[in-house]
Amino acid sequence: MDIFDEKVIKPMLIGEQAEAFDSPDYIYEIKFDGIRCLAYMDNTGTDLRNKRNKKLLPHAPELSQIHKQVDAKCILDGELFVLKDGITDFYEIQRRALMTDPFKIKLAAGKYPASFVAYDVIYHRDKLVNDLELMNRKEILARLILENERISLSRYIEQNGIDLYEIAKSKNLEGIVAKKRTGKYWFDKRTKDWVKCKVMASDDCVICGYTQKEKSMTSLILGQYKGDELIYRGHVTLGVTLRNLLSHEPVRIDCSPFGYVPPGNENAIWLQPELVCIVESMPTEKDSFRHPVFRGMRDDKTPIECQMWESK
């Protein structure tokens, strides 16, 4: 069966985090703060899938016609996002992705319509193009899409990564991604062909439990994996209860999933380590987060994908 029909592609992963740099061997793009997804499009319709292959079009029905903006059957890699005040807002698009009521989704789409930005092409005119160099794929992509308010191309600059990073920083954007000009598209692999340079450090973390604080606030106990081992990473405090964030009651367990009780967590309520959230923090060399801020839940990552970076 054709890979377009199978719809089981796992997208290429962004590699290690690094300081912004200049290089003639790389191009540089703004890092969109949205939901990574693949767009399968032909003359019959559009199908959007996140990294875990969940269908996203029911949550963004305003994108149901974007296949009319491409001139051939294709699979595009890109980002599903929502703009608020000219800046991508992860909270809003993630909230939409977790909705199940079609009426509420329609209201949200009317207030803050979603868009799709394409930064790569994997499949074009009935064949895979992942073995082509990045700049060849960019040429195909530029010819493929007729842009409108719902679908666009990711712009890039050459060589001057530090300048673009400083612009992203001044605009309160998430950061940039450096991509090797000659790089191929590696399915489900993390290589140095794509490198992220983020203004603020953000991490995907496993929710391992919580403690209840005053005024109904909850402090989440965070973990990340180092290989197959779950490592304690500290806390982040919510302004609401955990139940308000979820559509279901999390699964409680009797003991710490770390194999021991980290100091200060003696009264914790432990949870099955299956929920993933995003935490933003100031850069630090320590094993815990500095001034952590809860940024939202995500269902497009598995817990084992929440890996600690070697630099931490």
Are residues 65 and 30 both part of a single domain? yes
pLDDT of residue 312: 33
175 located within any domain: yes
50 located within any domain: yes
Are residues 164 and 23 both part of a single domain? yes
Question: What is residue 15's three-state secondary structure?
Answer: coil
Sequence-separated contacts (24+) of 282-290 with Cβ below 8 Å: 282/200, 282/201, 283/201, 284/201, 285/312, 287/231, 287/233, 287/234, 287/312, 288/233, 288/234, 289/203, 289/222, 289/233, 289/234, 289/236
Q: For the segment 107-153, what is each residue's pLDDT rounded down to a tens digit?
A: 999 999 999 999 999 999 999 999 999 999 999 999 999 999 999 99
What's the whole-number mean pLDDT along residues 222-227? 94
pLDDT at 65 over 50: yes
CATH number at residue 21: 3.30.470.30
Q: For the segment 261-293, what is each residue's pLDDT rounded down to a tens digit?
A: 999 899 999 999 999 999 988 655 556 676 688
Q: For the segment 154-210, what is each residue's pLDDT rounded down to a tens digit?
A: 999 999 999 999 999 888 788 899 999 999 999 999 899 999 998 877 889 999 999
Q: Give me the sign of the Cα torsion angle 243, 245, 248, 252.
A: negative
Are residues 36 and 145 both part of a single domain? yes
pLDDT of residue 172: 77
pLDDT-based confidence at residue 244 (cuts at 50, 70, 90): confident
310 located within any domain: no
Is-contact 198 33, C-beta < 8 A? no
Are residues 76 and 216 both part of a single domain? no
Domain boundary among 199, 220, 252: 199
Q: For the segment 2-11, what is each residue's pLDDT rounded down to a tens digit?
A: 899 999 999 9
pLDDT of residue 15: 81
pLDDT of residue 309: 66
What's the whole-number mean pLDDT along residues 36-63? 96
Q: For the segment 70-120, what is each residue's pLDDT rounded down to a tens digit?
A: 999 999 999 999 998 888 888 789 889 989 999 999 999 999 999 999 999
pLDDT of residue 233: 92
Domain boundary among 147, 182, 199: 199
Are residues 135 and 282 both part of a single domain? no
Domain boundary among 158, 180, 199: 199
pLDDT of residue 286: 58
98 located within any domain: yes
CATH number at residue 288: 2.40.50.140
Are residues 125 and 251 both part of a single domain? no
What's the whole-number mean pLDDT along residues 209-223? 84
Are residues 140 and 208 both part of a single domain? no
pLDDT of residue 310: 47
311 located within any domain: no
Could you give the number of structural domains in the chain?
A: 2
Are residues 178 and 283 both part of a single domain? no
pLDDT at 308 over 50: yes
Are residues 242 and 184 both part of a single domain? no
Question: Can you give the pTM of this predicted structure?
Answer: 0.74
pLDDT-based confidence at residue 16 (cuts at 50, 70, 90): confident
Residue (of 149, 151, 124, 150) closest to 138 by Cα position: 124
Are residues 156 and 191 both part of a single domain? yes
pLDDT-based confidence at residue 33 (cuts at 50, 70, 90): confident
What's the whole-number mean pLDDT along residues 236-265? 85
Are residues 221 and 126 both part of a single domain? no
Tell me the C-alpha to C-alpha distance, in Å, between residue 205 and each of 45, 167, 199, 294, 295.
35, 28, 19, 10, 11
Angle between helices 90-98 and 102-111 (to 10 degrees): 160
312 located within any domain: no
Q: Which domain holds residue 165?
A: 3-199
Are residues 150 and 283 both part of a single domain? no
Mean pLDDT of the chain: 90
58 located within any domain: yes
pLDDT at 311 over 50: no
What's the whole-number mean pLDDT along residues 52-81? 96
Is-contact 282 291, C-beta < 8 A? yes
pLDDT of residue 281: 80
103 located within any domain: yes
Task: Look up tokens 């712009």; give the residue.
Answer: 155
